[in-house]
Amino acid sequence: MSISKKEVEHVAMLARLEFSEQELEEYTEKMNDILGYMDKLNQLDTSKVAATYHVLPINNVLREDKDRHYLDNETALKNAPDKKDGMFKVPRIV
């Protein structure tokens, strides 16, 4: 499989990244190199193989429903690039 420049642009949009024309060319080329290498996987018939999502056979890791106070407002916002009235401030949405 190979990826087109247009698809690379679409993927960049999904990932909230932006590239210059030249970068787009480069990323398309490098991604195609890498994806070409991934094609190796198609040598394997995996139709009867189960997927491994977790290597450990652990289920039902659950905590009790107890609440506790953790951060005060000032600490919560300490790393915020922009803030106002105890909240995180973001630029115009639409």
Q: Site residues for other proteins, window 13-52 (CB under 8 A)? A: 13-19, 27, 30-31, 33-35, 37-38, 40-44, 46, 49-52
- 84 by DSSP, 3-state: which? strand
Q: How far is the CB of 21 from other proteins (least distance, A)?
A: 14
Asked if 4 interacts with other proteins (CB under 8 A), we say no
Give the separation between CA 76 and CA 87, rounded to whole angstroms: 9
Beta-carbon contacts of residue 11 (< 8 Å; ≥ 6 apart) = 3
> Which run of H or of E encompasses 83?
strand 83-84
**Which of 6, 22, 25, 78 is in the footprint of other proteins by CB under 8 A?**
78
Q: How far is the CB of 25 from other proteins (least distance, A)?
A: 13
Give the separation between CA 49 and CA 55, rounded to whole angstroms: 15
Q: How far is the CB of 30 from other proteins (least distance, A)?
A: 6
